[in-house]
């Protein structure tokens, strides 16, 4: 009997032979669910855009000429699980003044490939920009805008963003 105890024949390994092996350095519990992959696989594409609420705001509605305009664009996932929305560009969102992206008439060189804008459950993403009341007309030239009413918009980078409710806009007035 002593030989069995001396030989370590009754010792058991700490590893569970039925547990899946994990890669070195992978600290995830194999029993947890990757919710981002789950929601991307099971949330219908036609419904995903309903999850994201877009809001564009400024501190006030009237600005004096030359006064910088602080812009806040907020994206919020309304669903209690993660959502990924396919975008047309690696730039996942943009802001615009009267339809001019980034207040510029100059075309931007952005790679022509799609990407995804990912949100954790109930996540808010808030971005701040400042518009100096100028429009870029060349790579090194900016022109001041005239007094009047201007539409400031924010959108997910998709051609159908406005149709799917993935865009918002607000108007401001610039006075003399």
User: pLDDT tens digits, residue range 157-173?
Assistant: 999 999 999 999 999 99
The two beta strands, 148-156 and 93-97, are antiparallel
Low-confidence ranges of the chain (pLDDT < 50): none
Helical H runs in the chain?
2-6, 35-42, 45-51
Residue-range domains of the chain with CATH: 33-175 (2.60.40.10)
* Cα dist from 171 to 63, 86, 124, whole Å: 11, 28, 23
* Cα dist from 57 to 77, 151, 168, whole Å: 18, 11, 9
pTM: 0.76
Q: What is the pLDDT of residue 72?
A: 97
């Amino acid at each position: 009997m002593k030989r069995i105890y001396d030989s370590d024949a009754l010792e058991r390994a700490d590893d569970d032979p039925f547990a899946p092996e994990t890669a070195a350095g992978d600290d995830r519990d194999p029993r947890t669910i990757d919710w981002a992959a789950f929601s991307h696989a099971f949330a219908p594409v036609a419904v995903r855009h309903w999850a994201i609420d877009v809001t564009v705001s400024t501190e006030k509605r009237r600005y004096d000429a030359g006064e910088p305009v602080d812009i806040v664009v907020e994206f919020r996932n309304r669903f209690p699980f993660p959502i990924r929305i396919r975008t047309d560009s690696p730039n996942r969102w943009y802001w615009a003044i009267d339809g001019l992206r980034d207040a510029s008439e100059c075309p931007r060189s952005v790679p022509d490939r799609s990407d995804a804008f990912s949100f954790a459950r109930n996540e808010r993403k808030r971005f701040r920009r400042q518009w100096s009341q100028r429009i870029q007309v060349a790579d090194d030239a900016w022109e001041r805008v005239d007094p009047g009413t201007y539409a400031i918009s924010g959108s997910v980078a998709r051609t159908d963003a406005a149709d799917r409710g993935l865009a918002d806009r607000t108007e401001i007035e610039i006075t003399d």
